[in-house]
Structure 1
Amino acid sequence: MRILHTSDWHLGRSFHGVGMLEAQRGFLSQLLDTVRSSRVDAVLISGDVYDRALPGVDVVRLLDEALAGITAAGARVILTSGNHDSAARLGFGGRIFEQGGVHLRTGIESITSPVLLQDGAATVAVYGIPYLEPRLAAPELGADTAPTHAGVLGEAVRRIREDTARREAEGAPVLPLVMVHTFASGGITSDSERDLSVGGVGAVPLDLFTGFTYTALGHLHGRQELAPNVWYSGSPLPYSFSEARQSKGGLLIEIGPGGLTGVTPVPWEAPKRLELLRGTLDGLLADPSLTAAEDAWCQVTLTDDDRPAKAMERIRSRFPGTLVLVFEPASGNRGVNESYSRRLARATDDLDICCGFLDHVRSREAAPEEKDLFVEVLAKVNAAEVAK
């Protein structure tokens, strides 16, 4: 049996102001190619299908096209809601969609209703756990459930183990696979994920998933193995420059009668690469080794001691895909950590105050022509004051 583990599609997301709908359409096309070429039996989406609770019409239409394409290729779809999704909206029509091979697991009541996948002697029971907001989920899960991420997820897992034991006691052995949208201990984060709790203390213990045939995690955007049978698939596209060095795609899971037999990364290419450039403006513009970055989305960190004039305009003359521009003087001596009030206290006259302010807000001293303009303006102001 072959199962494709994906998560964190974030349909409708933008990347530093650039719409990503066509890029997302591109990864979905590659996903569909994988389903066909690898003869995938089921596609898992472990939460954050959408990027926001109220997705746009074109975004909903894209998901509709994706689900139709996957099921037409012969695979079933099992998806859970993440912290970015509206569980109620995403779960609408679930009982009807089930008949078409799309299984929505967005509510607590569905936790112990696994999707049974049969392939010869192997029966895989896929349990989908939606994202559980502790304060909201704890009362519904039981009075003794602690209103923490570990508490509510622990109760959900307990119920799944109980259901699995009941099925085996009835003579129907199954291989339990769990889908979870959470931050598991040991996971490496990226800048594009939303904290699941204040202070980032929402991590759940890894041993919570001991004994499951496979745990398909969602939430963290970098593909990573936490245990041989516990994986984050990562997001199919990079959603922050902190993911520039990550390989994106899905995970092809193979399960036989005896359990898990293999986990293989499946790469999907993004339409544009991400590049992290660092150096002086003149150095970056002249560096012949950076040719490949001319067609990439770029985050540029300029290390000039003085902030160059028209920096974004000039950097984009060579790297038009520059989306983020950061200034970090190499010397560290431009007074960036000094408050303006302290600079003001050292000023000797009005011209010094004006030039000091200009230097403070843009990290570059006033040019001679700018100083001349300040002198002219200050002269007119003083003359007007005298005239009064």
Structure 2
Amino acid sequence: MRLLHTSDWHLGRSFHRVGLLDAQAAFVDHLLATVRAEDVDAVLVAGDVYDRALPSLPAVELFDRTLHRLADLGVPTVMISGNHDSGRRLGVASGLIDRAGIHLRTDPAGCATPVVLADAHGPVALYGLPYLEPALVREEFAMERAGHTEVLSAAMERVRADLAARPAGTRSVVLAHAFVAGGTPSDSERDITVGGVAAVPAGVFDGVDYVALGHLHGSQTITERVRYSGSPLAYSFSEADHRKSMWLVDLGADGSVTADRIDCPVPRRLARIRGRIEDLLADPARERHTDAWVEVTLTDPYRPHDAMARLRERFPHALALAFEPERVDDDPLASYAERLRGRTDRQIAEDFVAHVRGTAPDTAERAVLRDALDAVRTDAARAETD
């Protein structure tokens, strides 16, 4: 069986205030052309269909057109909701849409109810695990307190139990939206850390033939059977070096997996450049960036006057400007943002307590900070699903 694995469409998202809806529509055209050209048997969309729980009307219209075009192709499609989606809203009318071969899996209670397809070698069970926000699904999995590893493990136990009851030789595919250990994040993914723990081990998914992951925006192979497709478009300059693609996966009669990357259309190249403004404006080597979306980091010791306007005379598509003056490491004027780079919210909060009080928080205080941060995340997630 041939599967096309994609994720993280983020319909409606912009790039530094530049609308991407036309580029997203071009990606959909490319996806449909790939389905036809490669004789795809099923399309897998591993979450974050929309960029927000209440998507814009143009984004909804593009999604609606996409569903109709997929249905017209007669190729089954399985979609799950991601942490940016509202599962309830995305899943509206899923029972009716299911009849058209578009299978929306947005309810955690249905994670062990697969879409069952078949090829010449027998059945393939495709299980859709929507994004599982621990605080919102604990009751479903009968847990008083749990993190991502625990709720995903509980969901996978149900999947394996269902699979064990199916005919011998049934092959299996799981769609999931999570941060799996070994994956490399970018700046454009929303943090899903719970209790200070973000990543779940890949072993959680043991026992199935292929795992189609969403959430991380870079295409990557965790194991031969566990892969991220990545987002089809770049959504931050941290993705400047990404090769945007989909996975074309062939599932053999024995459950073996082979996968090839199908490149996605690139609306405009990304470039990240840094240096003093006069050097950037004069350097002939920078000419190759004139047609790119550009992020500029200026290292002048003092902020140049009217910097962005001057830069746009040479780089008309410059979108982001940052200042990192050339200073020694112990300079007290070093930027606050630089000191915080790479640190989690929990670490920042603990450092603040230590700075104000003079002593680091003890174990009990760290637990209070962790619970407070988790409560904020939970309230935000609950508000998006209501």
Give the TM-score category using the shorter length: 0.7 to 0.9
The DSSP-based 3-state class of the residue aligned with 2:88 is helix
| Alignment-mate amino acid for residue 319 of structure 1 | F
What are the residue-to-residue correspondences of 1:186-205 with 2, within 5 Å? 186-198=182-194, 201-205=197-201
Alpha-carbon distance, 1:113 to partner: 1.3
Choose the corresponding residue for 1:218, options 214, 218, 224: 214
Q: Structure 1 residues 199 and 299 mapped into 2: Cα distance closer, same or farther (>3 Å)?
A: farther
Is 1:261 matched with 2:260? Answer: no
Partner of 2:40: 40
What residue identity is the alignment partner of 1:104? L
Q: Tell me by how many angstroms 1:285 deviates.
A: 1.2
Residue 233 (1) aligns with residue 229 (2): yes
Deviation at 1:70, TM superposition (A): 2.2
**Following TM superposition, by how much is the alpha carbon of 1:20 offset from its aligned partner in structure 2, in angstroms?**
1.1
In 2, Cα distance between equivalents of 1:338 and 1:249: 36
Match of 1:252 in 2: 248
> For residues 224-373 of structure 1, what are the structure 2 equivalents within 5 Å?
224-332=220-328, 336-337=333-334
Deviation per residue, 1:64-85 (Å, 9 max, x gap): 1112222222311100001110
Shift of the alpha carbon at 1:303? 1.5
What do you get for the CA RMSD once the two structures are aligned? 1.7
- C-alpha separation between the residues in 2 aligned to 1:303 and 1:332? 12
Residues 22-31 or 325-334, more deviating: 325-334
The gaps in structure 1 that reach 5 residues or longer are 340-388
Could you tell me which residue of structure 2 aligns to residue 89 of structure 1? 89
Partner amino acid for 2:235?
Y
User: CA shift at 1:326, angstroms?
Assistant: 1.0
Give the conservation status (yes or no) of the 8 Å contact 1:145–1:152: no
Work out whether residues 80 and 130 of structure 1, in 8 Å CA contact, stay in contact via their aligned partners in 2: yes
How much has 1:19 moved relative to structure 2?
1.3
Q: Distance in 1 between matches of 2:249 and 2:139?
A: 35
Partner of 2:102: 102
**How far apart, CA to CA, are the structure 2 residues paired with 1:46 and 1:4?**
11
Which whole-Å CA distance do the structure 2 matches of 1:82 and 1:50 have between them?
A: 8
Alpha-carbon separation, structure 2, partners of 1:294 and 1:320: 7
Partner AA of 1:298 in structure 2:
V
Equivalent residue letter for 1:303: T
Largest Rg, 1 or 2? 1
Is 1:164 equivalent to 2:160 in the alignment? no
Structure 1 CA distance for aligned equivalents of residues 70 and 104 of structure 2: 15
Give the match for residue 123 of structure 1.
123
Render the CA deviation track for 1:170-221: whole Å, top value 9, x for unaligned: xx53111000101111111100001112575131111111221000011011
Identity %, equivalent residues: 48
Equivalent-residue separation in structure 2 for 1:97 and 1:204 (angstroms): 32
Partner amino acid, structure 2, of 1:227: T
Q: CA deviation at 1:18?
A: 1.3
The reply to whether residue 136 of structure 1 matches residue 102 of structure 2 is: no
Q: Distance in 1 between matches of 2:215 and 2:196?
A: 13
Give the letter aligned to residue 116 of structure 1: V
CA distance in 2 between counterparts of 1:113 and 1:338 reads 51
The amino acid across from 1:153 in the alignment is: L
State the alpha-carbon separation in 1 of the partners of residues 82 and 178 from structure 2. 8
Structure 1 residues 87-138: Cα deviation after superposition (integer angstroms, max 9, x where no partner): 0110011111111010010002221111112111132110000111111101
Contact residue 224 and residue 257 of structure 2 kept, 8 A: no
Instruction: State the SS of the aligned residue for 2:139.
Output: helix
Aligned residue type for 1:314? R
How many residue pairs match? The answer is: 335
Greater CA drift, 322-331 or 3-12: 322-331
Unaligned residue ranges in structure 2 (runs of 5+): 337-386
Match of 1:73 in 2: 73
How far, CA to CA, are the matches of 2:208 and 2:217 in structure 1? 22
Q: Does the residue aligned with 2:50 lie in a helix, a strand or coil?
A: coil
C-alpha distance in 2, partners of 1:9/1:36? 20
Distance in 2, Cα, partners of 1:122 & 1:225 = 27
Structure 2 match to 1:179: 175
Shift of 1:332: 4.4
Indicate whether 1:155 and 2:154 are aligned: yes
| Kept in 2: contact 1:191–1:242 (CA 8 A) | yes
Structure with more relative contact order (C-alpha pairs < 8 Å, separation 6 or more): 2
What is the rounded CA distance, in whole Å, between the counterparts of 1:258 and 1:85 in structure 2?
35
Answer whether contact 1:223 1:234 (CA < 8 A) is retained. yes
- AA aligned to 1:336 is L
Instruction: Quote how far apart the aligned CAs of 1:246 are.
Output: 0.4
1:187–1:224 contact (8 Å) kept in structure 2: yes
**Alpha-carbon deviations, 1:11-45, whole Å to 9, x = none?**
01111111111111111111111111101111111
Cα deviation for residue 337 of structure 1 reads 3.3
CA deviations on 1:318-345 (whole Å, 9 max, x unpaired) are: 1011111111123449863399xxxxxx
